[in-house]
Structure 1
Amino acid sequence: MDAAFARSYALESTLSSGTTALVALIFGRSLLVENAGNSRAVLSRNGRALDMSNDHTPIYNKERIRVESLGGFIEDGYLNGQLAVTRAIGNWDMKGLKEMGDDISPLTAEPELKLITLTKEDEFLILGSDGIWDVISSQNAVDFVRRQLQEHNDINRCCMELAKEALRRGSFDNLTVVIVCFHPEPPSQVVAQRRARVSRTFSAEELLKLKSFLEEKK
């Protein structure tokens, strides 16, 4: 895909756009997520949010180290002072980012991969563009989608409502959402685990010592 963008740009300089990529593959009980850019995949495991991808932004320490090792730099939170992401498809017009070749340049389309084994506790997967995560945390999104599914169990409606919620919170960026549910029935209520009460008894001798100590403090 990145090579196709490069060919288009070589033929017509106005075709210089870039984009991110987020892919989820499910085969059997395995979930593989591939990410290049600042879109994000979040898994709900019994109501707990598990990030299945990292946001490839200049403030992400691992990406900053990679960029600097390849001769790039971070300026005012931007890659080489130009781009808000450190991995993307396209953007071949940006000087000093891809002109050396994608494999050795600070800006790369090479995705990060994360593979896990799904369990019975895994409820759904949220795939969202950066406009969602600019204003909603991973856990907030999971909580919101769980409530929506418990209310009407309509996946398409959940996607629309999550995008509307991000818009209501002031997001100005792209709002794209895909939700994949692993069960036909809505998520069950999560029962918070109560902390076990620890009882403590004192001997008569200990009580006398405590009484003497308190009287001395008066």
Structure 2
Amino acid sequence: MRASRASSLTQKWLLLTQLCLLKDLVIRCVRQFIRRAKAMLLSQNVVVVEPAEISVVVDVKSSQQDLNSFQIAQVRIRDSVCIEIPVPEETPLLGSVKTCSVTEEDVTEFVPKISSGSYADKGSREYMEDEHICIDDLSSHLPSSFFRFPLPVAFYGVFDGHGGSEASRYIKENATRLFFEDDVFRESHFVLNNFFLQEVEKSHREAYRLADLAMEDESIVSGSCGTTALTALVIGRYLMVANVGDCRAVLCRGGKAVDMSFDHKSTFELERRRVEELGGYFEGEYIYGELAVTRALGDWSLKRYSSLGGSLSPLISDPEIKQVVLTEEDEFLIMGCDGVWDVMTSQYAVTFARQGLRRHGDPRRCAMELGREAFRLNSADNVTVLVICFTSSSSTPQRRRIQFCVSDEARASLQAMLQG
């Protein structure tokens, strides 16, 4: 009798030990699954908007006769990611094990907190032809019919007019309508992935094209008037810069200058070759002897002058677009008109601005200091400078947590097994 009881207790003790091992193995499997799922999502450039906690359900199938032979039947994350694992039909379902309080790992994803400042001065010129835009919170500037982004979204622009200020002023006054009335910004379901970013890029190209076509109407802008256009859109940790003309955007990455745009001038060999292949010519550094830039919005008197017609003119409005994923190394972005870059290099501007921001941390003051430095270096043009700072929105890493608990179904099955 005693031997029978001892044998029963030993079996139950072994069963409980195996169940504890099962619990630990399930947790390890869940952790491995989360790591693989995360790697899969990152490889597809999918941003998880709420990364702090992942709710996981694991269905375990096991033989009642041999708890060592079990299989994970399903792993599911918030019902949005689900992996079915085939198991033999004869294997009975032990129950659902729900996870959620054993700490798995610290996860830090850089989403910048954005602040900006600007400075503009006509300098020694008689007129101010520059315009600019600084919108740190784009959602608050869009009509209520537009989608409210769950991530920080900001928009900036520098528009350097020539032949007057009509063209640059038109772009500034119509920027939100031109750039954000596309259907891509009215979607009710927001997923920040490669497809969405490609649609945003297409939308930006179309905005530049429509702005240029609008200026063909001389009741809006004189045919001898035009503007360069440099824009920057920040969505979460994604930065998209579009450029037409010789304004420039420079990113400070760990103190090093990273050009986010290229000056569309005759000194840029690829641009010079493009213009000449389309039948254009330069007199000195000026296309047709009149314009210093090879890409611009407006200037329809020159575009119509092309022997190939306005639609095939060497003077084009198609922007060059560059995208990057911001990291903690990316400290700030400088956007400026050619009045800045005529007298300082990208690295000079980054080093100068970085020293200022380390002293006072104020992007407005930094922009003013950069503009005045351009005048000190004898800039003879209008000067417009924007400084956009990227700081971490959270000082502590977010923590993914996993807790282990057993469903009522599994608990009843286990209790029945223990009671023999």
After TM superposition, the score normalised by the length of structure 1 is 0.78
Structure 2 CA distance, aligned partners of 1:29 and 1:13?
36
Higher RCO (C-alpha 8 Å, min separation 6): 2
Deviation at 1:155, TM superposition (A): 0.7
Deviation at 1:174, TM superposition (A): 2.0
Q: Is 2:298 the partner of 1:128? A: no
Helix, strand or coil at the partner of 2:295: coil
Deviation at 1:28, TM superposition (A): 2.3
Kindly tell me: are residues 40 and 97 of structure 1, through their superposed partners in 2, closer, same or farther at Cα, counting changes over 3 Å? farther
Aligned partner of 1:101 in structure 2 is 310
1:98–1:106 CA contact under 8 A, matched in 2: no
Aligned partner of 1:202 in structure 2 is none
Structure with bigger helix share is 2
Aligned partner of 1:2 in structure 2 is 212
Larger gyration radius, structure 1 or structure 2: 2
Q: Is 2:386 the partner of 1:171? A: no
* Structure 1, 69-78 or 50-59: larger mean CA deviation: 69-78
From 261, 269, 273, the equivalent of 1:65 is 273
Fraction of identical pairs, as percent? 51
Query: Segments of 4+ in structure 1 off by > 4 A?
Result: 12-15
Q: Is 2:321 the partner of 1:113? A: yes
Aligned partner of 1:52 in structure 2 is 260
Helix, strand or coil at the partner of 1:93: helix
* Structure 1, 52-61 or 70-79: larger mean CA deviation: 70-79
Gaps of 5+ in 2: 1-210, 394-420
Kindly tell me: are residues 98 and 173 of structure 1, through their superposed partners in 2, closer, same or farther at Cα, counting changes over 3 Å? farther
Helix, strand or coil at the partner of 2:233: strand
Q: Is 2:234 the partner of 1:30? A: no
Deviation at 1:146, TM superposition (A): 0.5
Structure 1 CA distance, aligned partners of 2:316 and 2:223?
18
Deviation at 1:82, TM superposition (A): 1.4
Kindly tell me: are residues 146 and 89 of structure 1, through their superposed partners in 2, closer, same or farther at Cα, counting changes over 3 Å? same
2:215–2:221 CA contact under 8 A, matched in 1: no
* Structure 1, 107-116 or 38-47: larger mean CA deviation: 107-116
Structure 1 CA distance, aligned partners of 2:332 and 2:277?
37
From 355, 362, 370, the equivalent of 1:162 is 370
Structure with bigger strand share is 2
1:43–1:50 CA contact under 8 A, matched in 2: yes
After TM superposition, the score normalised by the length of structure 2 is 0.42
Helix, strand or coil at the partner of 1:183: strand
What's the C-alpha RMSD, in Å, of the aligned pairs? Answer: 1.9
Structure 2 CA distance, aligned partners of 1:33 and 1:129?
14
2:265–2:294 CA contact under 8 A, matched in 1: yes
Structure 2 CA distance, aligned partners of 1:150 and 1:181?
12
Kindly tell me: are residues 131 and 98 of structure 1, through their superposed partners in 2, closer, same or farther at Cα, counting changes over 3 Å? farther
1:98–1:108 CA contact under 8 A, matched in 2: no
* Structure 1, 154-163 or 36-45: larger mean CA deviation: 154-163
Deviation at 1:16, TM superposition (A): 2.6
